[in-house]
């Protein structure tokens, strides 16, 4: 009997090795090699990767599909992805998602917030190259100028008296990997002058080179009769010697406007503003760190947020100021007014004066006309130069009122958790355990003075008729005033506020 024949086992199927990983690595290697050889800019490579990294996964998948079909035809086992392949896919996906989010981030805004220098910012993307240019053409009579510059300083000044031309000196800084690329970006961002009707537009074209960083400074000379509008995103703006209106809008930069025979409007999101020697009206709005408005023959209006300081001086017509903490209006100011986060100090102000604020120490000297003032969490000192109706409401701070010593007035004053003091013996003062009052008339009353205070004292003082507080007296506010304002004249207020209320009861804590 013959033994059974053992079955013949088929040879094991050969597993094909995948070439998907090497292909993807070769592609990445070639791309980075071109970057190192400066044949492609790193900024451009980063932008491409941020947008097209899923293409690497598509190439990987196509290669694996081809390998699978080839293995089926040959009867071999198709290769799997493997641990190395999985790791590479994870790296591509993670890096791709990070690059995509980074490309969508507002890097310009971040630079503005942390004040990265422009040259340092350019050097992140290569070297910085400088270029100069010059533009000149006739400026039509009666035309106005509009300047568009997203990144760079703008300086505008008057040409010679007999010049009817506009001249522009261009100083440009370009970030690039090499001189050749910088030259190309410079050619793409040449500023242009365009005239349509009565408007001449100067466009810096800083974005014409795409994402490549370009900063263009413009020095502009043109006839002083031309009105000027400047629209900027980042960069300082200076405008001087104009016989027409000036309008400046910028997001980030310091603005200086001086010697303008016309109206001035300034809109600023971050930076400081200086407006000096203006014959027309002034309007300032936005968010500014510092603002100075002086020597204005028209009115001044300030609306917005002012984080550091506001300086006003010698403004002939109505002054209006509005922010989240302070609302103020008065007829004019012959002296100066300084306002910061903690203090408001001014002198030679003509009413009617209306002021509502909080958490500020207030000191006003040589005030003429009616006064309506509300404050809390700060001391108040007001010294009158000429008498008008006065109402002061305060909380958590002392109130001092200086009254010209030869005036006639009627007083109603009340304080809770404080005392009333008076240098006028005609007034009846009564200080109790929790409340102090003063009432009565001095001379022939022509004005009514009402003071309401809570958690603080009230002091009614004599001041010389010329204006300032009585010499040697310094009130409860640190740095109290002594002496008057020499040479000041009594000014009749332009109009009167309604007579103040007899009494405003303080509220509970």
DSSP assigned state of 15:
B
Reply yes or no on whether the pLDDT at 477 is more than 50. no
Same domain, 368 and 245: no
Does residue 123 or residue 437 have the better pLDDT?
A: 437
State which of 219, 253, 287 marks the end of a domain: 253
Does residue 391 or residue 508 have the better pLDDT?
A: 391
Same domain, 29 and 136: no
Same domain, 301 and 282: yes
Q: Tell me the mean pLDDT in the region 190-215.
A: 91
d(CA 278, CA 260): 5
d(CA 218, CA 231): 13
> Which stretches of 162-254 are assigned E, i.e. beta strand?
165-176, 192-196, 199-203, 214-222, 228-234, 237-242, 246-252
Same domain, 381 and 508: yes
Reply yes or no on whether the pLDDT at 367 is more than 70. yes
3-state secondary structure of 451: strand
d(CA 381, CA 412): 17
Does residue 400 or residue 80 have the better pLDDT?
A: 400
Same domain, 302 and 332: no
225 and 162 in contact (C-beta within 8 Å)? no
126 and 178 in contact (C-beta within 8 Å)? yes
113: in domain: no
**pLDDT per position as a tens digit, 295-321:** 999 999 999 999 889 999 999 999 999
399: in domain: yes
Whether residue 352 is preceded by a cis peptide bond, meaning omega within 30 degrees of 0, is: yes
Number of compact structural domains in the chain: 4
Confidence of residue 96 (pLDDT cuts 50, 70, 90): confident
Beta-carbon contacts of 294 under 8 Å, excluding residues fewer than 6 positions away, are 275, 276, 277, 311, 312, 313, 314, 315, 336
CA distances to 418, 419, 426 from 430, in Å:
11, 9, 13
246: in domain: yes
**What is residue 484's predicted lDDT score, i.e. its pLDDT?**
37
Confidence of residue 456 (pLDDT cuts 50, 70, 90): very high
**pLDDT per position as a tens digit, 3-21:** 555 555 555 555 555 666 6
Q: What percent of the chain is predicted at pLDDT more than 70?
A: 77
Give whichever of 123-127, 432-436, 498-502 has the largest mean pLDDT.
Answer: 432-436
* Nearest CA-CA partner of 234 in 114, 149, 305, 306: 149
Q: How far apart are the first and last CA of the chain?
A: 118
3-state secondary structure of 406: coil
Class of residue 422 by CB neighbours under 10 A (exposed 0-12, middle 13-18, buried 19+): buried
Same domain, 228 and 215: yes
Same domain, 197 and 275: no
Q: Which range is least confidently modeled, 19-23, 150-154, 436-440? A: 19-23
Same domain, 469 and 338: yes
258: in domain: no
457 and 313 in contact (C-beta within 8 Å)? no
Beta-carbon contacts of 126 under 8 Å, excluding residues fewer than 6 positions away, are 41, 42, 43, 175, 176, 177, 178, 181
Same domain, 335 and 441: yes
**What is residue 226's predicted lDDT score, i.e. its pLDDT?**
94
Same domain, 352 and 450: yes
Q: Tell me the mean pLDDT in the region 398-417.
A: 93
203: in domain: yes
Whole-model pTM above 0.75? no
CA distances to 10, 170, 188, 206, 440 from 134, in Å:
84, 6, 15, 16, 75
Beta-carbon contacts of 364 under 8 Å, excluding residues fewer than 6 positions away, are 344, 345, 346, 347, 349, 353, 381, 382, 383
State which of 231, 253, 275 marks the end of a domain: 253
Q: What backbone phi and psi angles, to 5 degrees, belong to 2? A: -80, 150
156 and 230 in contact (C-beta within 8 Å)? yes
**What is residue 17's predicted lDDT score, i.e. its pLDDT?**
59
Q: Which domain holds residue 493?
A: 328-509
Mean residue pLDDT of the chain comes to: 82
Class of residue 216 by CB neighbours under 10 A (exposed 0-12, middle 13-18, buried 19+): buried
Reply yes or no on whether the pLDDT at 329 is more than 60. yes
Reply yes or no on whether the pLDDT at 501 is more than 80. no
Reply yes or no on whether the pLDDT at 284 is more than 90. yes
9: in domain: no
Q: Tell me the mean pLDDT in the region 352-371.
A: 95
State which of 324, 359, 377 marks the end of a domain: 324
Q: Tell me the mean pLDDT in the region 339-351.
A: 93
Same domain, 96 and 244: no
The widest CA-to-CA distance across the chain, in whole angstroms, is: 152
d(CA 383, CA 92): 73
115: in domain: no
Angle between helical axes of 42-52 and 82-104 (0-180°, round to 10): 110
Token output for 30:
């070639």
143: in domain: yes
Same domain, 303 and 364: no
Reply yes or no on whether the pLDDT at 128 is more than 60. yes
d(CA 322, CA 110): 29
């Amino acid at each position: 009997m013959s033994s059974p024949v053992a079955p013949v086992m088929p040879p094991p199927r050969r597993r094909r090795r995948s070439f998907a990983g090497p292909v993807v690595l070769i592609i990445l290697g070639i791309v980075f090699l071109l970057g190192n050889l400066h044949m492609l800019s790193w900024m451009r490579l980063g932008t491409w990767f941020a947008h097209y990294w899923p293409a690497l996964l598509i190439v990987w998948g196509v290669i694996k599909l081809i390998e699978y079909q080839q293995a089926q035809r040959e009867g071999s086992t198709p290769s799997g992805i493997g641990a190395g392949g999985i790791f590479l896919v994870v790296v591509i996906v993670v890096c791709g998602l990070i690059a995509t989010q980074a490309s969508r981030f507002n890097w310009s805004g971040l630079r503005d917030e942390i004040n990265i220098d422009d040259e340092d910012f350019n050097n992140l993307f290569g070297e910085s190259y400088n270029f100069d240019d010059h533009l000149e053409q006739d400026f039509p009579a009666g035309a106005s100028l509009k300047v568009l510059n997203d990144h760079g300083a703008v300086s505008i000044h008057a040409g010679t008296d007999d010049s009817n031309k506009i001249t522009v000196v261009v100083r440009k800084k370009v970030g690039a990997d090499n001189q050749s690329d910088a030259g190309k970006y410079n050619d793409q961002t040449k500023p242009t002058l365009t005239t349509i009707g009565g408007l001449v537009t100067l466009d810096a074209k800083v974005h014409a080179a795409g994402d490549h960083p370009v900063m263009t400074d413009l020095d502009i000379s043109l006839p002083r009769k031309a009105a000027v509008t400047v629209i900027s995103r980042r960069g300082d703006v200076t405008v001087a010697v104009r016989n027409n209106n000036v309008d400046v809008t910028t997001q980030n930069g310091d603005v200086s406007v001086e010697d303008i025979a016309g109206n001035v409007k300034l809109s600023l999101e971050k930076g400081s503003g200086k407006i000096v020697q203006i014959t027309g009206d002034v309007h300032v709005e936005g968010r500014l760190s510092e603002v100075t408005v002086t020597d204005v023959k028209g009115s001044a209006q300030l609306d917005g947020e002012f984080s550091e300081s506001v300086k006003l001086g010698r403004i002939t017509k109505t002054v209006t100021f509005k922010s989240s903490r302070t609302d103020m209006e008065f007829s004019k100011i012959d002296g100066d007014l300084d306002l910061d986060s903690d203090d408001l100090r001014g002198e030679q102000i003509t009413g009617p004066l209306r002021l509502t604020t909080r958490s500020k120490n207030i000191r006003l000297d040589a005030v003429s006309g009616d006064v309506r003032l509300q404050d809390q969490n700060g001391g108040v000192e007001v010294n009158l130069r000429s008498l008008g109706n006065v109402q002061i409401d305060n909380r958590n701070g002392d109130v001092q009122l200086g009254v010209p010593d030869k005036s006639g007035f009627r007083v109603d004053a009340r304080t809770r958790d404080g005392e009333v003091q008076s240098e006028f013996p005609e007034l009846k003062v009564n200080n109790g355990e929790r409340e102090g009052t003063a009432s009565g008339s001095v001379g022939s009353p022509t004005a009514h003075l009402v003071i309401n205070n809570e958690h603080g004292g009230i002091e009614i003082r004599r001041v010389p008729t010329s204006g300032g507080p009585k010499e040697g007296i310094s009130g409860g506010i640190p740095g109290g005033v002594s002496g008057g304002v020499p040479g000041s004249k009594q000014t009749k207020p332009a109009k009167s506020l309604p007579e103040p209320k007899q009494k405003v009861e303080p509220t509970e804590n």
